[in-house]
Amino acid sequence: MPLVALILSVTSGFVLMRYRLPPLTTAMTSLIVDLSLAPITVIIAHRRGRSPGLWILLGLAFGAWALAWVLIFPLRRRTPTPDSGPPQQAA
């Protein structure tokens, strides 16, 4: 159980705050935080043009880190090539 609590505290960000309680308390609190942050992560990701299905999984697995990623890093937009534009009408 201590290993599971450590993994969950890393994903929820508690390890940075030096959150030290019994492993079961740490694990349950981390799960609650991850479950609370996942919907917020999905909403922000969807508004930024990212896949909601992927980000719900990332939000559940990585909690605070997924939220930070979607807030900090913008979606890379593909620049259209000259050949990929709409067909030109001949004058």
CB 5 within 8 A of CB 29: no
Say what the pLDDT of residue 1 is: 78
- Tokens 């050949």 locate to 83
- Euclidean distance between CA atoms 35 and 28, whole angstroms: 11
Domain residue spans of the chain: 2-73
- Reduced to 3 states, what is the DSSP secondary structure of residue 19? coil
Q: What is the pLDDT of residue 5?
A: 81
Residue type, 84: S
User: Per-residue pLDDT for the chain (91 aa), expressed as one digit of tens each?
Assistant: 788 888 888 877 777 777 777 888 888 888 888 899 999 999 999 999 899 999 999 998 888 899 999 999 877 666 555 665 566 666 5
What does the pLDDT read at residue 84?
59
Which pLDDT value is given to residue 34? 87
